Amino acid sequence: MDFEYKGNEIERSRKVLTDKRLIRYILKKGSNQAANELIRRYYDDLYFYLYRQVGNGNDALDLTQEVFIAALKGLSSYDERKSSFRTWIFRIGTYKVIDARRRVKATWLELKDVQWGEEKDFDESLYQKELLEAINQYVASFRPEIQEVFRLRVYGELSFPEIASLLVKKEERIKAQYYRLIKRIREEFSEHE
């Protein structure tokens, strides 16, 4: 079944074509249609993965685009034996978030620009957002390898075996890094609870 067919054939093909076949069409034939299908399959998952980390829709959209551009440019280096395509793009996304956090500059809002809601709800959501941002900043102070494990586990919701396979490290080491970091986070932020 050729991916370049039009109409209903493409719809039927979507259910049959694996990521592997789509990647082959992209690499061997330069198929934009196959690239679009691969992006369509993972766009929402990647966007929400990035959004949970940056907390801003526009930034998450920009990062999502950057990840897919990087993935398509580096597609020849993707190895399906090491990880699924989804896991591979999440890893690229993790590094894009780390890079973005390094580039962040503080911006200031005038008070008149802020929209106020119910005070109780606002206080609670502000507290949660501040705590999440503080934890993200704290995690950003660790080596990128540790940040990667944290982000893949917490935001990517990957299992320890998936992370170990992706990073080509022993699962026990991944778990140890993750749980040591969680312990440090709890110690650091215990006053916030």
pLDDT tens for 73-84 read: 999 999 888 888
SS3 189: helix
Burial class (CB in 10 A: 0-12, 13-18, 19+), 16: exposed
CATH code given to domain 1-105: 1.10.1740.10
Domain with CATH 1.10.1740.10 in the chain: 1-105
Q: Can you tell me whether residue 158 is helix, strand or coil?
A: coil
Give every residue of the chain whose pLDDT is below 50, as ranges: 1-12, 106, 108-114, 116
Class of domain 110-193: mainly alpha
Pair of tokens at residue 163: 């992370």
Q: Mean pLDDT for the chain?
A: 81
Q: Is the pTM of this model over 0.85?
A: no
